[in-house]
């Protein structure tokens, strides 16, 4: 049978029975299709009526599946028996070579084209016109029926590329594969109409799928499905990910995702919250670079909090997060062709967000540099009130502004170009 007929039969088997087995696909293709559909797929008009004819039709379907798996499997082996561990390792290592990665890319493309089919239809029909481009990425376990490797007999699993998937916070693994799923996301809303916010007016579609061995290429698989999604030229918003992606190397996840145009919303462990390190004099606080003069109470507001405490005190931390915003370094220049940006001190520029006595002393304002000082403001105008110097917070200095706390120094007013992906882990 042609490959398209085999794949159509397997998809019909999944739809009607929930199982992608060859026996179910053979039964549906030969006994449950209308004559028009049988003509489309090249199935004989008359179903097999004898045992010999049924066996022959079944073998034709198996041979068609064998052609597909032979073209996609760079390490062909007998999957009907368990191999010795040493022999299975040889076949498994082929998937990490160039020919294996090329075959894995073809499989990934095939799976993603199937997943993106309803996304393309939704885009053409305008169902995603209210979607802001926010996505959520997560890896979930796909268990297999095959038994794991046996240390007692020295034999490998029939699924030679499978492994143990451990969900976050669980010490019990699931033998199988890890599926990296990309889903259209939206901001959390209240309980129905009582929450006072409307539900999103776009479908919660799955936008990408990548299947791989657990704990292998976690970040690269997420980047792959995001790149396939970028081919549809949909908007890019915030990409939310859990700690499995927070711990990825920046060049494997954070940097490529930011270059695709997404903002990152990452999760941290209790030991990683608060002040995480420094860069060019600025302090890294929960993933954002801030002025070194930020009050310590604001900088360490989330230090040492576990997830349970963080969620319980979420309402208390929202005002603290708002007080932090003026101290974060401001964007001075948009990203260039390489994806790098320039940041500057929050007290610099024509629209400073904080008052800094140290900067005023070291860089006094020139006469008539920015016009006469504003002495009269419109109290009824919120923007006028917010732009006045008395409405901005003032950075706290120690020892009359001559020193900074424990190893901190002021960053330059306009720092050199840096990568568009700031560090996401504590500096070592």
Of 34-48, 79-93, 177-191, the range with the lowest mean pLDDT is 177-191
The arithmetic mean of pLDDT across residues 365-391, rounded, is: 59
- Tell me what pLDDT residue 312 has: 84
Q: Are residues 352 and 420 in the same domain?
A: yes
| pLDDT-above-90 percentage for the chain | 27
- Tell me what pLDDT residue 57 has: 92
The three-point CA angle 348-349-352 to 5° equals 65
Instruction: Dump pLDDT digits (tens) for 25-82.
Output: 999 999 999 999 999 999 988 899 999 999 999 999 999 998 888 888 888 887 778 8
Q: Is residue 195 part of a domain?
A: no
**Domain range spanning residue 39?**
3-72
Phi, psi of 230 (to 5 degrees): -65, -20
The number of folded domains in the chain is 3
Q: Is residue 44 part of a domain?
A: yes
Q: Are residues 258 and 282 in the same domain?
A: no
The overall average pLDDT reported for the chain is 81
Instruction: Dump pLDDT digits (tens) for 126-161.
Output: 888 888 899 999 989 999 888 899 888 889 998 888
Does residue 422 have a pLDDT over 60? no
Q: Are residues 343 and 406 in the same domain?
A: yes
Gyration radius (Cα) of the chain, Å: 29
User: What is the C-alpha separation between 58 and 64, in angstroms, rounded?
Assistant: 10
Tell me the H-state helices in 300-356. Answer: 307-312, 314-324
Q: Are residues 28 and 14 in the same domain?
A: yes
How many of the other CB atoms lie within 10 Å of CB of 152? 5
Instruction: Dump pLDDT digits (tens) for 210-259.
Output: 988 888 888 999 999 999 999 999 999 999 998 888 888 889 999 899 88
User: What is the C-alpha separation between 82 and 87, in angstroms, rounded?
Assistant: 10
- Tell me what pLDDT residue 425 has: 42
The last residue of a domain, from among 267, 283, 299: 267
User: What is the C-alpha separation between 193 and 199, in angstroms, rounded?
Assistant: 9
- Tell me what pLDDT residue 398 has: 54
- Tell me what pLDDT residue 423 has: 42
CA dihedral 57, 59, 61, 64 (to 10 degrees): -140
Listed residue (216, 275, 239) closest to 423, CA to CA: 275
Instruction: Spell 73-103 as b/e; 16+ CB within 10 A means b.
Output: bbbebeeeebbebeebeebbebbeeeebeeb
Q: Are residues 353 and 253 in the same domain?
A: no
Does residue 401 have a pLDDT over 60? no
Q: Are residues 12 and 31 in the same domain?
A: yes
Does residue 262 have a pLDDT over 50? yes
Listed residue (262, 414, 291) closest to 358, CA to CA: 291
Asked whether the beta carbons of 263 and 409 are under 8 A apart, the reply is no
The arithmetic mean of pLDDT across residues 109-138, rounded, is: 90
What element of type H or E holds 180?
Answer: strand 174-184
The last residue of a domain, from among 23, 56, 72: 72
- Tell me what pLDDT residue 388 has: 63
Q: Are residues 169 and 239 in the same domain?
A: yes
Q: Are residues 323 and 403 in the same domain?
A: yes
Phi, psi of 112 (to 5 degrees): -70, -35
Q: Is residue 196 part of a domain?
A: no
| Confidence label for 427 from pLDDT (cuts 50, 70 and 90) | very low
Q: Are residues 257 and 282 in the same domain?
A: no
Does residue 288 have a pLDDT over 90? no
């Amino acid at each position: 049978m042609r490959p398209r007929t085999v794949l159509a039969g397997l998809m019909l088997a999944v739809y009607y029975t929930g199982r992608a087995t060859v026996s179910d696909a053979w039964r549906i293709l030969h006994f449950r299709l209308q004559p028009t559909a049988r003509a489309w797929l090249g199935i004989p008009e008359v179903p097999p009526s004898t045992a010999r004819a049924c066996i022959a039709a079944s073998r034709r379907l198996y041979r068609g599946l064998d052609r597909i798996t032979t073209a996609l499997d760079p390490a062909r082996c007998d999957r009907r028996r368990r191999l010795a561990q040493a022999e299975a390792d040889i076949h498994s290592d082929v998937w990490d070579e160039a020919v294996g990665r090329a075959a894995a890319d073809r499989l990934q493309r095939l799976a993603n084209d199937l997943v993106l089919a309803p996304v393309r239809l939704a885009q053409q029909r305008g169902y995603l016109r209210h979607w802001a481009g926010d996505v959520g990425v997560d890896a979930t376990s796909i268990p297999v029926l095959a038994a794991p490797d046996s240390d007692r007999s020295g034999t490998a699993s029939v699924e030679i590329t499978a492994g143990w998937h451990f969900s976050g916070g669980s010490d019990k693994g699931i033998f199988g594969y890890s599926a990296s799923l990309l889903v259209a996301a939206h901001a959390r809303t209240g309980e129905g109409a009582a929450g006072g916010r409307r539900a999103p007016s776009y479908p919660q579609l799955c936008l990408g799928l990548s299947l791989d061995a657990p704990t292998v290429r976690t970040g690269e698989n997420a980047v792959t499905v995001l790149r396939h999604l970028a081919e549809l030229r949909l908007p890019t918003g915030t990409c939310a990910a859990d700690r499995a992606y927070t711990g990825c190397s920046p060049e494997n996840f954070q940097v490529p995702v930011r270059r695709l145009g997404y903002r990152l919303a990452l999760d941290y462990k209790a030991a990683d919250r608060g002040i995480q390190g420094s860069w060019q004099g600025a302090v890294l606080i929960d993933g954002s670079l801030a002025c070194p003069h930020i009050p310590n109470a604001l900088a360490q507001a989330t230090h040492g909090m576990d997830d349970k405490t963080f969620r319980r005190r979420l309402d208390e931390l929202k005002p603290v997060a708002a007080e932090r915003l003026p101290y974060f370094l401001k964007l001075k220049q948009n990203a260039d062709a390489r994806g790098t940006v320039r940041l500057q001190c929050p007290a610099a520029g024509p629209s400073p967000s904080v008052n800094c006595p140290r900067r005023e002393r070291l860089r006094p304002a020139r006469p008539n540099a920015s016009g006469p000082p504003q002495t009269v403001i419109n109290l009824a105008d919120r923007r006028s009130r917010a732009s006045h110097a008395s409405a901005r917070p003032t950075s706290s200095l120690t020892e009359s502004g001559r020193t900074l706390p424990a190893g901190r120094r002021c960053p330059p007013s306009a720092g050199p170009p840096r990568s568009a992906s700031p560090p996401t882990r504590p500096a070592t």
